[in-house]
Structure 1
Amino acid sequence: MTTYIDRQTTLAQQIVLEGIGVHSGKPATLTLLPADANTGVVFQRTDDEASSEVPALWNRVTATALCTVLSDPAKDGVSTVEHLMAALAGLGVDNVIAELDGPEMPIMDGSSAAFVEAIKQAGIKRLDRGRRYIRVKKTVRVDNGSAWCELVPNDRTSYDITIDFDTPLIGRQRFAADLTPDVFCEELCRARTFGNVSDVEKLWKMGFALGSSLENSVAISEDKVLNPEGTRWPDEFARHKALDAVGDLALAGLPILGLYRSYKGGHKMNHAILEKLFSDSSAFEIVEAPAYRAHSQATPGLAAAAFGPDVS
């Protein structure tokens, strides 16, 4: 039997994606570049004279109200990073330099699908360093009124996301699954962001969501979906919240071996659970994937990923 090791990965080649920022409504170009082992995901603004780098880490998050924001977008920061981060985490891409020509990521169709397709076409390259993980050792929890979230010890990366909206169109929905490349591609990556038209109109008056449209959001009005094609799944709303959670928790800097559960969660609580986890050094440990043999009893969650064109 062939011996493998769960190695770190990067892109096999450069990727360029163009779109608009959902809040600014302005054109945005994203270039994803291969990176060395242990680089992680790093954002770099090409319009910033200082050319400073912003690592995609939880302690660089500066806002979570409408999206997840890293650093100061007026300077070197980037907003709406969660959909790209979800795609990278979902496909198991560890190391990438993300160059952006402005303060906001392109929203594409409001999901991670375009990022996933581009990564698959580019291919994923395995590197000569073992992949490291954050293993949750004890439960950590955050409560906020009726909303809550928690990270629970688990031998794999899993999500259990429940939403509960007053509108009958959404109501209570739940998405639960182990995170694998297949699950992410088939069950999560196409789930789009959503919002009520009345809320979007308020944001427009405040100068936000200027790029929001039926091309990149599921629009709801009076308990009806305005998009002609409808929803991609009956529970697309819960799936998108799960997609956001995958992207937000990717800001841990390493894949998390644990179960993330949330009820009425969102960007703010996704970030809060990382703050809570890292505030207690006894709640986690860093582990590196061991070598293993095909068809052997490998530790679940540490098995080498099988996804996309592999150009080891």
Structure 2
Amino acid sequence: MKQTTIKKHVEVVGVGLHKGVPVKMSFDPLPPNSGIVFFRTDKNVRIELKPDNVVDTTMATVIGKDGVTISTIEHLLSAIYAYGIDNLLISVDNEEIPIMDGSSIAYCTLLDEAGIEYLDAKKKAIEIKKPIEVKDGDKFVRIEPSKRTVFDFKILFDHPSIQHQNYRFEFSTQAYKEEIARARTFGFLHEVNYLRSKGLARGGGLNNCIVLDENGILNKEGLRYQEEFVRHKILDAIGDMAILGMPLLGTYVSFAGSHRLNHLLTKQILAQNEAYELVELPDEEVSYEVEYAYAKEQ
């Protein structure tokens, strides 16, 4: 299977979730073995996507270099991973990725417009060889050996609209677009009000977030999926694991996982040489719609 990039330049303008300011974002092709690279055009700083460049995971996943940061990258990375894109230049003129509608479907649409270009270089994947787990009390994230890419997530909230939710997602690009991409981020009204008092969440609202008060959901249109909350957690996890820089062959399992735990998991994987193997995917022309594991088994 070959590495990929995009066929043409595309761009979009949106609003950052926390600062609430307009952000222009563009995608451009990159040659083989370049990886995913972010570029702050207003600071003239390039930031490679890798776990060592993650500088904060408090409210979102943030990467940085030389004091220059780009925040809320996880939704975008989730879509990039889902489309199997290995090499891409992402340029922004501010410190946040535009939040769009709070899911990743707008990024999928942008990537559809850009198109997929196959490159003359072999595609590699990280195949998990032994289980690795990171815990915080009863919360955990774990990666297990598997011939398929699977995300199995559970959450528990003491709220009538959420309570206990569990979703198991067997990865493919088409399944991602149907089952995961439209799941929006969510927050509680008291949290939103607190964040705004601290100068954050200025770009958040009912148009890009599921907002809950103590009784229910404030969004008039309701939910997009029955388990939209846990599906968004899977969307986030896919984006966070994309920071490994390659497709992942393994089963990700979590209860109440977070950006912080996901980041610690990526670092633990790379720190243990015996925990993974870099494998080349076959040279057969395989659509990016097909699961990585399926391509590997042919």
TM range (shorter): over 0.9
How far, CA to CA, are the matches of 1:275 and 1:143 in structure 2?
A: 14
Would the aligned equivalents of 2:247 and 2:292 in 1 still touch at CA under 8 Å? no
Say which SS state the counterpart of residue 106 (structure 1) adopts. Answer: coil
User: What are the ranges of 5 or more consecutive residues in structure 1 without an aligned counterpart?
Assistant: 1-5, 305-312
How far, CA to CA, are the matches of 1:39 and 1:69 in structure 2?
A: 20
Give the aligned partner of residue 309 of structure 1. Answer: none
**CA deviation vs aligned residue, 1:55-85 (integer Å, no higher than 9, x gap):** 111111111111000016x943200000110
Output the amino acid matched with 1:272: L
**CA deviation vs aligned residue, 1:94-116 (integer Å, no higher than 9, x gap):** 11000000111100000101000
**CA deviation vs aligned residue, 1:265-295 (integer Å, no higher than 9, x gap):** 111111111111112111011111123488x
Would the aligned equivalents of 2:188 and 2:212 in 1 still touch at CA under 8 Å? yes
How far, CA to CA, are the matches of 2:215 and 2:252 in structure 1?
A: 30
| Paired residue total | 293
Give the aligned partner of residue 246 of structure 1. Answer: 238
Residues 71-110 of structure 1: pairs in structure 2 closer than 5 A: 71=64, 75-110=67-102
Distance 1:19 1:94, change over 3 A: same
Give the aligned partner of residue 66 of structure 1. Answer: 59
**CA deviation vs aligned residue, 1:21-75 (integer Å, no higher than 9, x gap):** 0000000011110111111110000001xx2210111111111111000016x94
Q: Among 181, 189, 196, which residue is 1:189 paired with?
A: 181
How far, CA to CA, are the matches of 1:205 and 1:119 in structure 2?
A: 35
**CA deviation vs aligned residue, 1:234-260 (integer Å, no higher than 9, x gap):** 210000000000000000011111111
How far, CA to CA, are the matches of 1:293 and 1:67 in structure 2?
A: 36
**CA deviation vs aligned residue, 1:131-161 (integer Å, no higher than 9, x gap):** 1011111000111101011100011211101
Would the aligned equivalents of 2:149 and 2:292 in 1 still touch at CA under 8 Å? no
Output the amino acid matched with 1:176: R
Shift of 1:223: 2.8
Shift of 1:299: 9.9
Is residue 6 of structure 2 the alignment partner of residue 14 of structure 1? no
User: What are the ranges of 5 or more consecutive residues in structure 2 without an aligned counterpart?
Assistant: none
Say which SS state the counterpart of residue 175 (structure 2) adopts. Answer: helix
Is residue 253 of structure 2 the alignment partner of residue 258 of structure 1? no
Runs of 4+ in 1 over 2 A off after TM superposition: 290-294
Would the aligned equivalents of 1:289 and 1:302 in 2 still touch at CA under 8 Å? no
How far, CA to CA, are the matches of 2:226 and 2:55 in structure 1?
A: 33
Give the aligned partner of residue 120 of structure 1. Answer: 112
Distance 1:104 1:300, change over 3 A: closer
**CA deviation vs aligned residue, 1:220-240 (integer Å, no higher than 9, x gap):** 012311111011012100000
Give the aligned partner of residue 55 of structure 1. Answer: 48
How far, CA to CA, are the matches of 1:299 and 1:157 in structure 2?
A: 8
Residues 143-162 of structure 1: pairs in structure 2 closer than 5 A: 143-162=135-154
CA RMSD of aligned residues (A): 1.7
Output the amino acid matched with 1:261: V
Output the amino acid matched with 2:78: A
Give the aligned partner of residue 3 of structure 1. Answer: none
Give the aligned partner of residue 308 of structure 1. Answer: none
How far, CA to CA, are the matches of 1:38 and 1:262 in structure 2?
A: 31
Residues 160-309 of structure 1: pairs in structure 2 closer than 5 A: 160-292=152-284, 301=293, 303=295
* % identical aligned pairs: 37
Would the aligned equivalents of 1:9 and 1:124 in 2 still touch at CA under 8 Å? yes
Would the aligned equivalents of 1:155 and 1:299 in 2 still touch at CA under 8 Å? no
Output the amino acid matched with 1:13: K
Is residue 36 of structure 2 the alignment partner of residue 41 of structure 1? yes
Distance 1:150 1:201, change over 3 A: same
Report the TM-score when normalising by structure 1: 0.91
